C-alpha cells in the first residue's frame, strides 16, 4: 500500500487520476512526489492558494504524431511518437527520447514529470520534458534506424530549439540515433544549432564524459550516501541490473572506486561472475556487436548465465538498478535487505515499485531515488549545452570533475532538506522537496501562466 496523502493533496491526486485515465506509471510518479510534499504546504501556503501543484501536474504542452517509415524490404510501418513539454519554469524543456515498444503517453508523462524535479536538482537552468516512440530498435538495420529517425525529426523539428526544447537519449536512443536526428534537424532548418540536442558525437559538438555521466553520477551519489554513514565503496560487492549505457558506466566507476561488480543483466537473463564483471567484454557485446549478454559466457566459461534469472537474488552490499521502471518489486527489496544490502541507488528512472521503496525505507538502508542518483546524465547534457553556447570544448577531467561536484551538491541538498523537514536520511523526501521548491518558486514569480 502506498503511503497516504496529506488531506490537501488527496483531491489533487484524485483529479490527476481522473484526468489521465489508464496512465499507471504517471499516477505512480505523481503519487510518489505528492506523498512527500505535505510539510512544504505548511511552510509555503501560497503554493496551495495559487494552485502550483495542480499546474505542475499538467504538462504545458503535449505533442503526439505519426511516424511512417519503410524497412529494408520496402514494407511500410507506422509508429507513434510523443514529446511532452512538461515544465519550462527553469529553462528550455530538457529530457531524453526513448524508443521502446512499451512506450505510450503514460510512460512519457511519468518520465517527463520526474525530469522536472531531477533537472531542478542539478542547479542548472533546464526545464523538464521527455519524448519517445513505440518503435522497437531491436534487430533493425542501421539504414532502418536512420530512416525512422529522419521521419520522426521531420515532424519534431518544428517544436525544438536550443532555447525551446532540447532532447537527448534514453533507452533505445544513443549516439547513433542522436547523429541521425541532428543531421535531419540541421538539414531541414539549415542551421548548425549545436545546442538543440545533447549526447552528440565528440567530433560534432558533443561533450566529453556525457556518455559516461549517468552511470558515473549514480556511483558518485552512492559514494556520498556511504560517506554520510562513515563508509565507502571500497571493497564492496555490487550488483548492477541492465547492460546498457547507464549500467556499463556504473560498473566502470564502481570498479574505479574499488568495488567489485559481480552481476549484470539484459531483458533475457542475468550474468553472475564472482571474479568481477569483465567490462571490456560487456562493452564489446553491447556497444559494438549489439548482442545478448548471454554471449559473455562464450568468453568467460566460469561465469554463470541464468535465463530469466532474478538479479536481486544475488547477494550484494550495494544494488544499482540501471535497467528500467518497476524492475525491482517489494519481494526483491525484501530479498536484498535479508541478504544484507546496505545501499541502493537508482541509475534508471523509477526502477523500484512503491512497495519496494517502503521496504528500503523501513530497513533504513541508504536509498537514493533516480531523480537524485541518476541526475548526472542530464546535468552533463546541460554542460554540453554550455560548451555549445560558448563554442568551447572542455577536457574529460574538467567535465568529470564538474559532474562529480554536481552529484556531491545534489546529495548534500537532498540530505539537508530531509533533515530540515524532519525525515533525516530520507533522500526521496529530500530530493522531491528540493526540486519542487525551486520549480514552484520560479512559477510563482512568473505569475499565472
Q: Is 430 helix (H, G, I), strand (E, B) or coil?
A: helix
Written as nine digits, the cell of 389 is 553556447
Q: How far apart are CB 115 and ligand GLU at their closest, in Å?
A: 6
- Least spacing, CB of residue 63 vs ligand GLU, in Å: 17
Q: Choose which of 245, 265, 381, 414 interacts with ligand GLU (CB under 6 A).
A: 381
Q: Is 343 helix (H, G, I), strand (E, B) or coil?
A: strand
Residues 413 and 428: their CA atoms lie apart, in Å, by 12
Would strands 269-272 and 260-265 be described as parallel, antiparallel, or unpaired? antiparallel
* Comparison of 38 and 91: residue with beta carbon closer to ligand GLU: 91
- Residue among 42 and 389 whose Cβ is closer to ligand GLU: 389
| Closest distance of CB 446 from ligand GLU, Å | 23
Q: Which is nearer to ligand GLU, 55 or 94 (CB)?
A: 94
* Residue 412: active-site member: no
The partner residues of 168 in beta bridges, in order of sequence, read: 96
Among residues 94, 186, 402, 411, which is the contact residue for ligand GLU, using CB under 6 A? 94
Which has the closest alpha carbon to 435: 52, 110, 128, 116?
116
Q: Please, which of residues 189-208 interact with ligand GLU by CB under 6 A? A: 198
Least Å distance, CB 399 to ligand GLU, is 14
Burial class (CB in 10 A: 0-12, 13-18, 19+), 88: buried
With contacts defined by CB under 6 A, name the span among 53-61, 93-101, 181-189, 260-268 that binds ligand GLU.
93-101
Residue 92 interacts with ligand GLU (CB under 6 A)? no
Instruction: Kindly tell me which residue out of 67, 233, 378, 437 binds ligand GLU, with binding defined by CB under 6 A.
Output: 378
d(C-alpha 249, C-alpha 377), whole Å: 11
Smaller CB separation from ligand GLU, 27 or 94 = 94
Give the distance from CA 206 to its chain's centroid.
19
Pick from 215, 377, 430, 435: which binds ligand GLU (CB under 6 A)?
377
**Contacts (CB under 6 A) with ligand GLU, residues 268-287:** none
- In the complex with ligand GLU, which residue's Cβ is closer, 165 or 404? 165
Q: Are 407 and 213 in contact (CB under 8 A)?
A: no
Give SS3 for 179: helix
- Count of residues touching ligand GLU (by CB under 6 A): 10
Nearer to ligand GLU, 194 or 237 (CB): 194
- Note whether 264 and 245 are within 8 A (CB): no
Residue list 314-353, contact with ligand GLU (CB under 6 A)? 349
Q: Is 96 in the site for ligand GLU (CB under 6 A)?
A: yes
By rule CB under 6 A, what string of x and - marks binding of each residue 398-417 to ligand GLU?
Answer: --------------------
Cβ(209)–Cβ(400) below 8 Å: yes
Under rule CB under 6 A, residue 168 binds ligand GLU: yes
Which residues, in sequence order, are CB contacts of 291 under 8 Å at separation 6+? Answer: 285
Give the separation between CA 92 and CA 237, rounded to whole angstroms: 40
Task: Quote the CA–CA distance of 299 and 290 in Å, as a whole number.
Answer: 16
> From the candidates 130, 186, 236, 260, which is the catalytic residue?
130
C-alpha angle 299-217-352 in degrees, rounded to nearest 5: 80
Shortest Å distance, C-beta 260 to ligand GLU = 27
Most distant CA pair in the chain, distance? 64
Integer Cα distance of 261 and 58 in angstroms? 40
Min CB(381)–ligand GLU separation in Å: 3
Of residues 168 and 250, the one with the C-beta less far from ligand GLU: 168
The residues of the shown chain that bind ligand GLU, judged by CB under 6 A, are 94-96, 168, 170, 198, 349, 377-378, 381
Catalytic residues, which ones? 130
Amino acid at each position: 500500500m502506498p503511503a497516504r496523502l496529506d488531506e490537501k493533496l488527496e483531491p489533487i491526486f484524485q483529479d490527476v487520476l481522473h484526468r489521465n485515465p489508464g496512465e499507471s506509471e504517471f499516477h505512480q510518479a505523481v503519487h510518489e512526489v505528492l506523498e512527500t510534499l505535505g510539510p512544504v504546504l505548511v511552510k509555503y501556503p501560497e503554493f496551495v492558494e495559487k494552485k502550483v501543484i495542480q499546474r505542475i501536474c499538467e504538462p504545458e504542452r503535449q505533442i503526439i504524431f505519426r511516424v511512417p517509415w519503410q524497412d529494408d524490404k520496402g514494407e511500410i510501418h507506422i509508429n507513434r511518437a510523443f514529446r511532452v513539454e512538461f515544465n519550462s519554469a527553469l529553462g528550455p524543456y530538457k529530457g531524453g527520447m526513448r524508443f521502446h515498444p512499451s512506450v505510450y503517453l503514460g510512460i512519457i508523462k511519468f518520465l517527463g514529470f520526474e525530469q522536472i524535479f531531477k533537472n531542478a536538482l542539478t542547479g542548472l537552468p533546464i526545464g523538464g520534458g521527455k519524448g519517445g516512440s513505440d518503435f522497437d530498435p531491436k534487430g533493425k538495420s542501421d539504414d532502418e534506424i536512420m530512416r525512422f529517425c529522419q521521419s520522426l525529426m521531420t515532424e519534431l523539428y518544428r517544436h525544438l530549439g536550443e532555447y525551446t526544447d532540447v532532447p537527448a537519449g534514453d533507452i533505445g536512443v544513443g549516439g547513433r540515433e542522436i547523429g541521425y536526428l541532428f543531421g535531419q534537424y540541421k538539414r531541414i532548418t539549415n542551421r548548425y544549432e549545436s545546442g538543440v540536442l545533447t549526447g552528440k558525437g565528440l567530433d560534432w559538438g558533443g561533450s566529453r564524459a556525457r556518455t559516461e555521466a549517468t552511470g558515473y553520477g549514480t556511483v558518485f551519489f552512492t559514494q556520498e550516501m556511504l560517506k554520510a554513514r562513515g563508509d565507502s565503496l571500497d571493497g564492496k560487492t555490487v550488483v548492477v541490473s541492465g547492460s546498457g549505457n547507464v549500467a556499463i558506466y556504473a560498473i566502470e566507476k564502481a570498479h574505479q572506486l574499488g568495488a567489485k561488480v559481480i552481476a549484470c543483466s539484459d531483458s533475457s537473463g542475468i550474468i553472475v561472475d564472482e571474479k568481477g564483471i569483465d567490462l571490456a567484454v560487456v562493452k564489446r557485446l553491447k556497444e559494438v556487436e549489439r548482442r545478448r549478454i548471454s554471449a559473455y559466457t562464450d568468453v568467460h566459461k566460469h561465469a554463470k548465465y541464468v535465463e530469466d534469472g532474478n538479479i536481486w537474488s544475488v547477494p550484494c552490499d550495494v544494488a544499482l538498478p540501471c535497467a528500467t521502471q518497476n524492475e525491482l518489486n517489494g519481494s526483491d527489496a525484501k530479498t536484498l535487505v535479508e541478504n544484507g544490502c546496505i545501499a541502493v541507488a537508482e541509475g534508471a528512472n523509477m526502477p523500484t515499485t512503491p512497495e519496494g521503496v517502503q521496504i528500503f525505507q523501513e530497513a533504513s538502508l541508504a536509498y537514493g531515488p533516480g531523480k537524485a542518483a541518476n541526475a548526472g546524465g542530464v546535468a552533463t547534457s546541460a554542460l554540453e549545452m554550455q560548451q555549445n553556447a560558448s563554442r568551447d570544448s572542455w577536457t574529460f577531467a574538467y567535465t568529470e570533475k564538474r559532474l562529480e561536484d554536481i552529484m556531491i551538491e545534489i546529495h548534500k541538498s537532498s540530505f539537508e532538506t530531509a533533515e530540515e523537514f524532519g525525515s533525516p536520511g530520507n533522500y526521496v523526501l529530500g530530493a522531491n522537496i528540493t526540486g519542487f521548491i525551486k520549480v514552484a518558486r520560479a512559477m510563482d514569480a512568473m505569475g499565472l501562466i
